[in-house]
Amino acid sequence: MSADRLYAYVGAVLVALALYAFLVHTHVLRRLLAFNVMGGGTFLILVGLAQDGRGPDPVPQALVLTGIVVAVSATALAIILLRRWFATSQTTSLPEDGSS
Amino acid sequence: MKRRYRHLSAGAVSVALGAALWHVVRVRPTPSVSVASLVADALPASGVSHNVTAVLLNFRSYDTLLEVAVLLAAAVVALALRDEPSARSPAHVMYVALDAFVWRLAPLLVLVAAYLLWAGSTRPGGAFQAGSVLAGAAVLLRLSGLKVTAVDHRLASRGAMTFGLVMFLCVAIGTLLAGQALLEYPAKWAGALILLIEAALTISIGVVLYSLFDNAPQARVSDRESERQRER
């Protein structure tokens, strides 16, 4: 098994772990972190699977680079929203569906 | 009871997804087209000699254009949500060692960013890496209490944020006016145009990332909010 394939396997494990954390935790910051880890896993699968045994593949690399930049800015925006939410509501989790 | 149910169902869903992904990685479907060799064939006409840069700014430059628009949208929302400027109090405390360090490091970081930008055409590097280094330098200055005058200036920072997208759009419209397809650079100008776009993007990405950091609302409850809550 090449190192590239190993990256893809690690990516699959990361996605599964992050999904679990995302579903279980209600703290919004934890959810945001879990979502970021999930994104990282996706990037690993994309790059690792594409260049396994074929050498570097620039198209997924460019895709992932674009994805990283968007993920960074979206995370920053999410943290800003989160801080605003905490300042106004004094809670760190969002209201459950059905409860008021 | 409800909590246990939640953990169990979350675990089941995650294990199922993980197993599915694992299976896909193990089987690894073979693509019918090798995009890597397509890129390698078209590389001489792209104007740059590094294949990832060629994909980002020539073959798939439309993606990059939209990505810059997304960055700008995030920055605009962040600006709309910022605290009032009076609520922020960046009191500058003098630390001799910190100040001396930062003053020497900041120009070096700008130099590194310029190198990364230039290196992008021949080896790993490019606008995003250079922009993040610039943003890192600005964050460092801000955290050490020094003023980033160019970015604190309102009009200048708004201008710098949109500069990359505007430049990109100008090139895109220019290629249309010249009778080419959208963002299809003429072969003679491709290298220069890519460098021009990347330089503009570097500035914009740096300022946008810094402003996302700088405009984050305070984590503590603002005085106005606590007053409002006392009234209730």
pLDDT in tens, B113-164: 999 999 988 888 888 999 999 999 988 888 887 766 666 677 888 888 999 9
Mark yes or no for CB contact B54/A8 under 8 Å.
Answer: no
Whether the Cβ atoms of residue B52 and residue A59 lie closer than 8 Å to each other: no
Q: What is the count of structural domains for chain A?
A: 1
Whether the Cβ atoms of residue A1 and residue A41 lie closer than 8 Å to each other: no
In chain B, % of residues over pLDDT 70? 86
Rounded Cα distance, B190 and B175, in Å:
11
pLDDT digits (tens, 9 = 90+) for B179-188: 888 878 887 8
Mark yes or no for CB contact B71/A59 under 8 Å.
Answer: no
For residue A11, the enclosing domain spans 3-89
Q: Is the pLDDT of residue B229 over 60?
A: no
pLDDT category of residue A98 using cuts at 50, 70 and 90? low
Whether the Cβ atoms of residue A48 and residue A60 lie closer than 8 Å to each other: no
Residue A100 lies in a domain: no
Mark yes or no for CB contact B36/A58 under 8 Å.
Answer: yes
- CA B126 → CA B54, B122, B149, distances in Å? 11, 10, 25
For chain B positions 130-189, those within 8 Å of chain A (CB to CB) are 132
For chain B positions 92-121, those within 8 Å of chain A (CB to CB) are none
Considering only alpha carbons, which residue of chain A is nearest residue B126?
A65
CATH code of the domain containing A37: 1.10.287
Joined tokens for residue A4: 């590239």
Judge residue B12's burial from the number of C-beta atoms within 10 Å of its C-beta, 0-12 exposed, 13-18 middle, 19 or more buried: exposed
Contacting residues of A for B14, CB less than 8 Å apart: 16-17, 19-20, 23
* Amino acid (one-letter) located at B155: L
Q: Is the pLDDT of residue B15 over 70?
A: yes
Whether the Cβ atoms of residue B201 and residue B131 lie closer than 8 Å to each other: yes
Give the closest residue to B129 by CA, choosing from B114, B108, B140, B143. B114
In sequence order, the 6+-apart residues with CB closer than 8 A to the CB of A9 are: A48, B22, B25
Rounded Cα distance, B72 and B169, in Å:
13
What pLDDT is recorded for position B98?
A: 84
Q: Tell me, yes or no, if B128 comes closer than 8 A to chain A by beta carbon.
A: yes
Joined tokens for residue B107: 């120009």
What pLDDT is recorded for position A87?
A: 84
What pLDDT is recorded for position A44?
A: 93
Total Cβ atoms within 10 A of residue B94: 7
Q: Is the pLDDT of residue B172 over 50?
A: yes
Length of chain B: 232
Angle subtended at Cα B22 by Cα B18 and Cα B27, rounded to the nearest 5 degrees: 150
Q: What are phi and psi of A93, to 5 degrees?
A: -130, 155
Residue with tokens 């990685």: B25
Mark yes or no for CB contact B22/A65 under 8 Å.
Answer: no
Residue A35 lies in a domain: yes
Interface test with A, best of B5, B7, B21 (most A CBs within 10 A): B21
The complex's ipTM works out to: 0.84
What pLDDT is recorded for position B61?
A: 86
What pLDDT is recorded for position A100?
A: 46
Angle subtended at Cα A90 by Cα A88 and Cα A93, rounded to the nearest 5 degrees: 105
pLDDT digits (tens, 9 = 90+) for B82-105: 876 655 555 566 778 888 888 899
Total Cβ atoms within 10 A of residue B166: 15
Whether the Cβ atoms of residue B62 and residue A66 lie closer than 8 Å to each other: no
pLDDT category of residue B43 using cuts at 50, 70 and 90? confident
Q: Is the pLDDT of residue B225 over 70?
A: no
For residue B42, the distance in angstroms to the closest alpha carbon of chain A comes to 12
**In chain B, which ranges are E strands?**
none
Total Cβ atoms within 10 A of residue B213: 17
Mark yes or no for CB contact B75/A73 under 8 Å.
Answer: yes
Rounded Cα distance, B105 and B124, in Å:
23
pLDDT digits (tens, 9 = 90+) for B1-13: 577 888 999 999 9
pLDDT category of residue B230 using cuts at 50, 70 and 90? low
Lowest mean pLDDT among A22-26, A67-71, B193-197, B216-220: B216-220
